[in-house]
């Protein structure tokens, strides 16, 4: 049931306990394996096994749908959703999902394959954390099995991108692989755009006289599977409550939501970026680079500290580790320079030699990316400022044609985006702290995608664009 790579480790853990207490060793083995006995997919299942199960589930769902003697889609959807839930999968939800669309997904092998891969990957990684495999002295950030699964997924995705052609409104054809290489899906472009936006925010802050702060927010000890002992070595955390990284990330998101609400009540306005990255044992923590008026700094810090300490405030080390704040001294270096290493090591390891534990940075970045993908954790998020979607579309649209009255705001924003000047773009869009509904430009979305005649082996052609527009047009 367990991956064969784990057998030796689990066996050694059992033997160590058996030498002291045979009963305790048996209890350890039972408690370690019981959580995985109910799994419909064995932890050591291959991707081929997952595909076979997906095909079988899709066939069973189709047969179940056909067994209903009525053509009532609501009844069919409800019945299938219950069956999908019993299989440990969340059924399609949301107001935009029609009954017919939900039924089509739940009877489709490809949909099942995606869902089962996601669930299986998280169960596998949760087991790796539970068995103490994921830590700085072993396999940091994510297990070797998860990293390899992610590499396999990326190879499958690359093959699909190479076999799919997209056509723009001018009739130009590109493979999706070519388009991905020109977009933020390319790690180098993604890193460059993030640093452009961070530097732009810093330029805005300098112009208006704002200060920069760098914060680190961590989870309570009970969410960490490992801790550092008195000797400096890594050891099991006796207070670990089996919280997985996705649940820990939800804790941080809820904490941040409370912080933002408290800021709003106190009239505190900040802008910047937050970066989610894993501790060596996979538990997430956040680095936050924010800019604000100097008169708001103490209040902003006090609010974050208060909510960060609300859970288990009296545990050892909470005051020291739960929230750290560092004011950025412009005389000693830029805010963008301070945060650049955190951006790089969470994308591609560019210009970073090793991580905190001495691991080669490029290899470590692959492990971090696999961790984020497996747990569905958003690594980077902008705080405040205008939307980046409008910025990207303005960069794609080219010069405004002569004779078209786009307005001074749109023209300035387009020129700033075309020049890669995030600071000017922010100012053209009303500044760093204006609410989104008051921004002068927003996105207007047309039909998302159309399927057209065969082009390559999988027969897919894609069309669809979004364009920026001025509000009120």
Residues designated catalytic: 338, 342
β-pair type (234-236, 284-292):
unpaired
CA distances for 430 relative to 199, 274, 350, 410, 444, angstroms: 18, 22, 33, 12, 19
DSSP letters of 25-82?
HHHHHHHHHGGGTT-SS-TT--HHHHHHHHHHHHHHHHHHHHT-SS--HHHHHHHHHH
Sort 74 into a burial class: Cβ within 10 Å, 0-12 / 13-18 / 19+. Answer: exposed
Structure tokens at 135: 């830590």
CA distances for 73 relative to 70, 80, 81, 82, angstroms: 8, 10, 12, 14
> How far is C-alpha 9 from the chain's CA centre?
30
Rounded to the nearest 10 degrees, the angle between the axes of helix 361-375 and helix 144-162 is 80
- The CA distance from 253 to 442, in Å, is 26
CB 175 within 8 A of CB 162: yes
Any idea what the Cα angle at residue 274 is, between residues 300 and 147, rounded to 5°?
150
CB 357 within 8 A of CB 138: no
- The pair phi, psi for residue 323, each rounded to 5°, is -145, 125
- The CA distance from 381 to 343, in Å, is 11
Structure tokens at 423: 């600071």
CB 134 within 8 A of CB 6: no
- The CA distance from 293 to 104, in Å, is 52
CA nearest neighbour of 110 among 449, 455, 461, 458: 458
CB 441 within 8 A of CB 391: no
- The CA distance from 122 to 146, in Å, is 9
Residue written as tokens 């209903």? 68
- The CA distance from 172 to 165, in Å, is 10
Residues of the chain by 3-state class (helix, strand, coil), percent to 5: 50, 15, 35
- The pair phi, psi for residue 157, each rounded to 5°, is -65, -40
């Amino acid at each position: 049931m367990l991956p064969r790579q784990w057998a030796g480790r689990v066996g050694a853990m059992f033997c160590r306990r058996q030498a002291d207490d045979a009963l305790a060793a048996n209890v350890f083995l039972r408690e370690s394996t019981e959580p995985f006995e109910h799994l419909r997919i064995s932890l050591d299942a291959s991707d081929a096994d997952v595909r076979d199960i997906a095909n079988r589930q899709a066939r069973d769902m189709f047969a179940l749908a056909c067994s209903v003697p009525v053509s009532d889609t609501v009844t069919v959807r409800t019945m299938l959703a219950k069956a999908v839930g019993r299989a440990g999968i969340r059924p399609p939800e949301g107001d935009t999902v029609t009954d017919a669309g939900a039924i089509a997904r739940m009877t489709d092998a490809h949909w099942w394959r995606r869902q089962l891969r996601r669930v299986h990957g998280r169960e596998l990684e949760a087991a790796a954390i539970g068995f103490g495999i994921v830590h700085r002295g072993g396999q940091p950030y994510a297990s070797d099995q998860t990293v390899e699964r992610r590499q396999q997924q990326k190879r499958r995705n690359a093959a699909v991108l190479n076999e799919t052609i997209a056509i723009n409104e001018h009739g130009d054809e590109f493979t999706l692989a070519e388009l991905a290489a020109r977009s933020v899906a390319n790690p180098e472009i993604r890193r460059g755009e993030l640093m452009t936006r961070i530097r732009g925010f810093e330029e805005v802050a300098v112009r208006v006289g704002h200060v920069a702060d760098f914060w680190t927010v961590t989870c309570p000890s009970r969410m960490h599977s490992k801790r550092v002992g008195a000797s400096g070595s890594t050891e099991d955390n006796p207070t670990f409550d089996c919280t997985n990284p996705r649940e820990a990330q939800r804790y941080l998101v809820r904490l941040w939501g409370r912080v933002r609400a408290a800021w709003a009540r106190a009239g505190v306005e900040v802008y910047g970026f937050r970066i989610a990255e894993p501790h060596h044992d996979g538990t997430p923590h956040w680095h936050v680079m924010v800019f604000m008026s100097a008169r708001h700094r103490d209040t902003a810090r006090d609010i974050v500290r208060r909510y960060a300490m609300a859970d288990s405030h009296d545990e050892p080390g909470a005051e020291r580790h739960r929230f750290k704040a560092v004011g950025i001294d412009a005389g000693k270096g830029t805010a963008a320079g301070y945060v650049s290493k955190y951006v790089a090591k969470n994308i591609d390891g560019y210009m970073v030699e090793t991580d905190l534990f001495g691991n080669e940075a490029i290899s470590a970045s692959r492990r971090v990316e696999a961790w984020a993908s497996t747990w569905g954790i958003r690594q980077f998020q902008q705080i405040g400022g205008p939307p980046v979607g409008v910025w990207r579309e303005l960069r794609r649209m080219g010069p405004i044609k002569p004779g078209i009255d786009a307005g001074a705001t749109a023209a300035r924003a387009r020129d700033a985006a075309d020049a890669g000047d995030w600071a000017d773009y922010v100012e053209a869009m009303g500044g760093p702290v204006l609410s989104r509904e008051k921004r002068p430009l927003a996105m207007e979305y047309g039909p998302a995608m159309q399927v057209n005649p065969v082009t390559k082996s999988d027969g897919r052609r894609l069309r669809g664009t979004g364009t920026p527009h001025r509000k009120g047009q």
